[in-house]
Amino acid sequence: MYAFDIETFSADSTAVVINVTKFLSTDVPSISGLSSRLRKQYKVRSLDKNRSFINSVKSFPENIEVKQDFTFTASEPPSNSSVGSISMQVNQSMILLPEVPMQPRLFDPRVGFFTVDQIDYSSKALKADEKTYIRRWRLEPKDPEAYARGELVEPIKPIIYYLDPGTPENLKEYIKQGIEDWQKPFETAGFKNAIIARDAPTPEEDPEFSPEDIRYSVVRYVASTTRNAVGPSVSDPRSGEIIESDIIWYHNHLRSYRNRYLLETGAANPSARTLDTDTEEMGEMMRQVIAHEVGHALGFPHNMAASYAYDVEDYRRRLYSRKRYRG
């Protein structure tokens, strides 16, 4: 990808200093954000150095975040073709991996998980072995003996999600519920209080807190007209351990769920037949959105196979639906 000159060594020669300015301010295709396909599609020619720069650099105990503002000259940009260029902001993350990798677990295609792929060149089979590990959080019991007896125990390091300070006040309780709805599944695995929702600390409580700090997982609110929500995560490529995740939901996704509520349930649900949806009902929909995205952040993809578990006609029977979903 790139070669660096060693500028100097640390006093005990265990570390080196390199200058990354050129690396982060020039066009390195593998990290530029423009794939070879997009470069060809937009007929990208080169990086305009006069309009490209390092916007910011932030350093945290376990990660460094760099924002780059890049402008490329292009014959056929995706919009505003008259300007003949593409401008974009790219974020580069450099993350310190755990000193001791978590014990990996091999992927079984019968059980749905997001995965990481690895090529093992230390194989004794006289060839490189391809291995696929599931992505999962490292949950270890505080009391291994009690855990072995089948008792519910707390993990040494629970999964904690902080709410973005910009989160609308009227939705905070529902978002917290959506996060902690996952406590019940973890209890079946022997853990209590495995996943916890908290408000982000105020600047007075913790002036160093930042959503960009890899030590904190955050449910981030984005004031945007985009109608979507996502649950990405960062994992250790050596083991599949999920290190951190940020649930991201965009403001106008509220409108998407209002519309779905009206269109999908309005025929049988009088309260859905309005464009002025009740706050509590909107909150319950937001709770479902967050629970869904947390599921992705825990390592689970969409369960498409479940569509075949029940007959569509069953869902149209009121008593069946009540029995299945209301106990």
Per-residue pLDDT tens for 27-73? 998 888 888 999 999 999 999 999 999 999 999 999 999 999 999 99
Query: Measured between alpha carbons, how far is residue 18 from residues 6, 12, 15, 129, 130 in Å?
Result: 5, 16, 10, 34, 33
Do residues 19 and 4 make contact, with C-beta atoms less than 8 angstroms apart? Answer: yes
Closest CA to 68 of 88, 51, 90, 48: 90
pLDDT in tens, 233-274: 999 999 999 999 999 999 999 999 899 989 988 888 888 898
**Three-state secondary structure call for residue 292:** helix
- Average pLDDT of every residue of the chain: 91
Closest CA to 101 of 239, 308, 273: 239
What's the average model confidence in pLDDT over 168-189? 96
Q: What are 222's strand-pairing partners?
A: 250
Query: Measured between alpha carbons, how far is residue 59 from residues 49, 67, 80 in Å?
Result: 25, 12, 35
HSE, side-chain direction, 13 A CA sphere, residue 178:
28
Residue 27 or 80, more confident: 27
Asked whether the CA dihedral 310, 312, 318, 321 is positive or negative, the reply is positive
pLDDT in tens, 269-299: 888 898 888 889 999 999 999 999 999 999 9
The pLDDT value given to residue 30: 86
Query: Measured between alpha carbons, how far is residue 222 from residues 57, 164, 233, 283, 284 in Å?
Result: 22, 9, 17, 17, 19
Phi/psi class of residue 84: alpha, beta or left (left: φ > 0; alpha: ψ in -120 to 50)? left
Q: Strand 159-163 relative to strand 217-222: parallel, antiparallel, unpaired?
A: parallel
User: From CA 66, how far away is CA 156, in angstroms rounded?
Assistant: 31
User: From CA 187, how far away is CA 306, in angstroms rounded?
Assistant: 23
Calculate ∠ Cα 204-208-213, nearest 5°: 140
- Burial (0-12, 13-18, 19+ Cβ within 10 Å), 50: exposed
Question: Is residue 320 very low, low, confident or very high in pLDDT (cuts 50, 70, 90)?
Answer: low
The predicted model scores a pTM of: 0.87
pLDDT in tens, 96-132: 999 999 999 999 988 889 999 999 888 888 889 899 9
Domain limits of the chain? 6-95, 115-321
Q: What are 246's strand-pairing partners?
A: 218
The pLDDT value given to residue 327: 45
Whether residue 156 has pLDDT greater than 70? yes
**Three-state secondary structure call for residue 48:** coil
Calculate ∠ Cα 224-289-294, nearest 5°: 105
User: From CA 27, how far away is CA 86, in angstroms rounded?
Assistant: 13
What's the average model confidence in pLDDT over 162-166? 94
316 CB neighbour count, 10 Å cutoff = 10
